[in-house]
């Protein structure tokens, strides 16, 4: 079993001083895994190639090992758990993540890696829906991706074309500082939103998705995984934009309370029976609940802002430390 943090990723560089690791999460991909490993070996000869096998029940792990990949088994089921394990265990300067279904073009990997090397981006997404792409999509998958990226644009004001792409490159800083908790196919959504919230630079490059080979099947369950992705987006919206979330909810509740409250009050002033009183009380309760929601949003917004500032300071500490070390002389003393 290779020691992931000590050996892989630190063995060779790509000729430009960057240690590159290709990370392939897969589950029951015996039909395609050898092709994926071999194609990325040709595209990135100096890179370390890892196959993180999600406890497959077929020969995926054995075939990947025979093709020359370093195989790590992750027993917790779910792509999100695999990605967490990959990011936690592998040491590199540039990380490439690609699915093991042989639908992503290995020959375009340099277009994802180069912006990371040049420090132009922290995450590069291979967009299957870019204007320059010629991807083969099922209509339902295309609609789902359009729905989620439209929701992402509305909630977070981010104009991405492909939110769910499994072909990405990452900088070391992003991998080490973005915490991931989702265990399933919502992991791409989670990492995208958290990277944006932390100020990382995202870039999309067009890639064309190929169809799966005969006999290979997608592991995505459209309805269930779709609801999980939707829940993840709304939960992150609540966590990272609490004032907008709770403020909008509170204003809607206040508006809903004003309607029966004003109507019941007017009716009571006209001498209507006390039967209108419950409606007036309902209006008061809704208005108070809405005002409370707005207040909660303001408090959480302040807390979230302070945590963002703290996180920025913590991220700056290693750079400040490196700068202080560079200013010291060879004997450890500061230059006079």
Query: Measured between alpha carbons, how far apart are the two ends of the chain, in Å?
Result: 50
Question: 264: which 2 tokens?
Answer: 């019941």
| pLDDT recorded at residue 243 | 87
Cα Rg for the chain, rounded, in angstroms?
25
How many CA atoms within 13 Å lie on the side-chain side of 178? Answer: 29
- Which is more confident, 304 or 88? 88
Q: Are 58 and 27 in contact (CB under 8 A)?
A: no
pTM: 0.75
Distance of alpha carbon 207 from the chain centroid? 19
User: In angstroms, rounded to a whole number, what is the distance separating the alpha carbons of residues 195 and 316?
Assistant: 16
**Residues 193, 302, 176: CA angle, nearest 5 degrees:** 35
Q: Is pLDDT above 60 for 322?
A: no
Q: Are 192 and 122 in contact (CB under 8 A)?
A: no
CATH number for the region 20-240 comes to: 3.90.550.10
Q: Is pLDDT above 70 for 6?
A: no
What are the tens digits of pLDDT across the range 195-246? 988 889 999 999 988 887 777 777 667 677 788 888 888 888 888 888 888 9
Element spanning 125, H or E: strand 123-127
Q: What crossing angle do the helices spanning 79-89 and 187-197 adopt, rounded to 10°?
A: 50
| pLDDT recorded at residue 273 | 64
How many CA atoms within 13 Å lie on the side-chain side of 182? Answer: 23
Length of the chain: 336
What are the tens digits of pLDDT across the range 27-71? 999 999 999 999 999 999 999 999 999 989 999 999 999 999 999
Q: Is pLDDT above 70 for 5?
A: no
For residue 11, what pLDDT band results from cuts at 50, 70 and 90?
very low
Closest CA to 78 of 235, 221, 178: 221
Handedness of CA 71, 76, 79, 82 (dihedral sign): negative
Q: Is pLDDT above 60 for 163?
A: yes
3-state percent breakdown (helix, strand, coil) of the chain, nearest 5 = 55, 10, 35
User: In angstroms, rounded to a whole number, what is the distance separating the alpha carbons of residues 134 and 165?
Assistant: 14
């Amino acid at each position: 079993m290779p020691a992931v943090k000590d050996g892989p990723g630190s063995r060779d560089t790509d000729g430009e001083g960057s240690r590159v690791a290709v990370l392939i999460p897969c589950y029951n991909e015996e039909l395609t895994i050898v092709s994926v490993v071999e194609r990325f070996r040709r595209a990135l000869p100096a890179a370390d190639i890892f196959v993180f096998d999600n406890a497959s029940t077929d020969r995926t792990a054995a075939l990947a090992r025979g093709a020359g990949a370093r195989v790590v088994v992750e027993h917790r089921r779910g792509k999100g758990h695999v990605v967490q394990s990959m990011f936690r265990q592998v040491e590199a300067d540039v990380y490439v993540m690609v699915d093991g279904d042989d639908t992503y073009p290995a020959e375009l990997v340099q277009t994802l890696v180069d912006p990371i090397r040049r420090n132009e981006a922290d995450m590069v997404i291979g967009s299957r829906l870019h204007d320059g792409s010629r991807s083969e999509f099922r209509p339902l998958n295309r609609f789902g991706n359009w729905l989620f990226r439209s929701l992402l644009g509305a909630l977070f004001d981010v104009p991405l074309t492909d939110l769910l792409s499994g072909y990405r490159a990452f900088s070391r800083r992003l991998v080490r500082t973005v915490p991931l908790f989702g265990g399933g196919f919502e992991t791409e959504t989670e990492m995208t939103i958290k990277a944006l919230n932390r100020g990382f630079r995202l870039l999309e490059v067009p890639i064309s998705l190929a169809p799966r080979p005969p006999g290979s099947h997608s592991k995505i369950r459209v309805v269930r995984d779709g609801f999980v992705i939707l829940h993840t987006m709304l939960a992150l919206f609540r966590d990272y934009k609490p004032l907008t979330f709770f403020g909008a909810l509170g204003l809607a509740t206040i508006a809903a309370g004003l309607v029966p409250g004003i109507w019941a009050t007017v009716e009571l002033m006209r001498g209507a029976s006390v039967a209108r009183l419950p409606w007036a009380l309902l209006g008061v309760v809704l208005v108070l609940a809405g005002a409370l929601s707005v207040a909660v949003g303001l408090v959480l917004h302040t807390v979230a802002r302070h945590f963002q500032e703290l996180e920025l300071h913590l991220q700056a500490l290693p750079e400040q430390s490196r700068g202080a070390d560079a200013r010291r002389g060879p004997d450890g003393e500061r230059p006079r």
